[in-house]
A = this chain, B = another copy of it.
Amino acid sequence: MDKTTARHLDPMSDAAIAASVTPEPIEAVGARLGIPADALYRYGPHKAKLSLDYIKGLEDKPAGKLILVTAISPTPAGEGKTTTTIGLGDALNRIGAKTAVCLREPSLGPCFGAKGGATGGGHSQIVPMQDINLHFTGDLHAIGAAHNLLSALIDNHIYWGNALDIDVRRIAWKRVVDLNDRALRSIVVGLGGAANGFPREDGFDITVASEVMAIFCLSRTLEELEERLSRMVVAQTRGKAIVRAEALKGIGSMVALLRDAFQPNLVQTMEHTPAFVHGGPFANIAHGCNSVIATRSALRLADYVVTEAGFGADLGAEKFLDIKCRQAGLAPNVAVVVATVRALKMHGGVGLKELVNEDVAAVKQGAANLRRHVENMQKFGVPVVVALNRFLSDTPAEVEAVRGVLSDLGVNVHVCSHWADGGKGAEELAHEVKNLAEKPSAFHPLYSDDLRLSAKIETIAREIYRAGEVVFTPEATRRLAELEAQGFGHLPVCMAKTQYSFSADPKLRNAPSGHVLPVREVRLSAGAGFVVALTGDVMTMPGLPSVPAAEHIFVDADGVIGGLS
């Protein structure tokens, strides 16, 4: 294949659509929120970080309204949570509400794997999409370097005499790389003789799974970041005492590596809505939302802040509300649950290839998944609205079927076309969100801090997953008791469960109930401030598919990067 002919942007691609608009200078984007140019640390003309000094000065300002975008249980049909976050942000600005969006920053792993980038799609994208999807402002690299410095310090400590008496069989701190690389999941390090240290089992996670990332996203200040890093538990001694990260003496260096990264990133949507894109923790073993410092800063600069949480509402929204909001003192004013007719049909039993055909019965059946998520959001005391992302194959009868299923919940459904039309396609949704946000927020977390850890898990399983029973392995029970004895019982729990089902079985779509939720393993994230409950195999290092996206990415003769999606 001739290189030059092969190397053109597909005109229908997200990259080509993004290239069709001229971004504003980032100073102009900041000015929309009243940010002075000298508070921006620029990375080229269209990206900037917001200085920590400027952020400190915002503390006394009143906070705007916080809008959470979440979704039904994901299916291969797609639902469009990120595009809705962007489209709603654009639409709010169009109707005169001063709005910013807050998103997670992409990881290189999915960009080169199967999932693609994380900058939206169609006419609801953040730009410059190539920059944001690749290195952006280097935050993930900084987090990876800080994480791996601690890893090196642990093995170095053991090499030079192991004064802390670390048990090499009980080191909980792995290494990270920001790529999908299955060969690194399980490895043996320290081979090759005495000069290379002590052989031991180890492994790599993808960087977004690092506890450093979770801490980065939950800290309000650089001081809090340092405190949280210090109290991470990285290993046990031969006598089973916990070893905290601070004992390795590298916390100052880790903070030095993270200092610049910790400043929130500012970019813009294709319609020039200010977008804070900062932090991106895994949504299974961590809480899956953008950084607290970005969200809090945005709330003091804009009247409305639209943000999203990872996976479906049972996982992403629950953690957003029970972990991020609890820890950061945030209270959402509206929850938007995103769905598509196509995805609801899949929950209703239709196969991927038959989705183009009208099937009102399947929509009605599958809308039970949506209804369940809406009910769950209402349990947190948050007003809810549904955004139905339009596909050309949707029929009026199918849309009406969705409305019908939700009619007794007092929740409106708005058909949105921001993917095709930009913010204009979400104006109706924006008006309702603005109205709902005027109501006084009755938000409350699902459970209180003083519940026992097992009871917290049972509460989530009963109220959100509608499980009939939670079964703990003996090891999980033992570990929960140990954690409570060690003083970690007050922490919230972070559920690691498949995103494809309310249950722990990814094949069980729609709205199962009465199922058994197995809790197989429990892990402590002492710095992030939560206890992870694993209900199945949790992948913290993805693999690449047989034909990875990496094969299709290129730089053309003009230096433009193509093939990213």
* Chain A contact residues, CB within 8 Å of chain B: 41-45, 52-53, 108, 112, 130-131, 134-135, 138, 141-142, 144-145, 148-149, 151-153, 155-156, 159-161, 175, 177-193, 195-197, 202-203, 222, 226, 249-250, 252-253, 255-257, 259-260, 543-544, 546, 548, 550-555, 559, 561, 563-564
**4 closest pairs, A vs B, by CB?**
A186-B192, A252-B554, A141-B141, A155-B183
Q: Residues of B contacting A42 with CB < 8 Å?
A: 42-44
Q: Residues of B contacting A108 with CB < 8 Å?
A: 145, 149, 257
What are 23 contact pairs spanning A and B, CB under 8 A? A41-B45, A108-B145, A108-B149, A112-B152, A138-B141, A145-B178, A148-B179, A152-B180, A153-B544, A159-B182, A159-B543, A183-B197, A186-B190, A186-B192, A187-B189, A187-B202, A249-B551, A252-B552, A252-B554, A252-B555, A256-B553, A256-B554, A259-B555
Extra contacts besides A138-B141, A159-B182 (10): CB < 8 Å:
A43-B44, A134-B260, A145-B178, A152-B181, A161-B546, A183-B190, A185-B192, A222-B559, A255-B554, A256-B564
Instruction: Give A564 to B131 CA distance when docked, in angstroms.
Output: 30
The oligomer's copy count stands at 2
Q: Residues of B contacting A182 with CB < 8 Å?
A: 155-156, 159, 190, 195-197
Report A49 CB to chain B, min CB distance, Å: 8
Q: Residues of B contacting A145 with CB < 8 Å?
A: 108, 135, 141, 178-179
8 Å CB contact of A255 from B152, B181, B202, B555: B555
Q: Residues of B contacting A193 with CB < 8 Å?
A: 186
From A52, A53, A554, A555, name the one whose CB has the most chain B CB atoms within 10 angstroms.
Answer: A555
Instruction: Give A44 to B178 CA distance when docked, in angstroms.
Output: 25
- Say what secondary structure dominates the interface of chain A: mixed
Pairwise interchain contact A152-B544, C-beta atoms closer than 8 A: yes
Pairwise interchain contact B196-A185, C-beta atoms closer than 8 A: yes
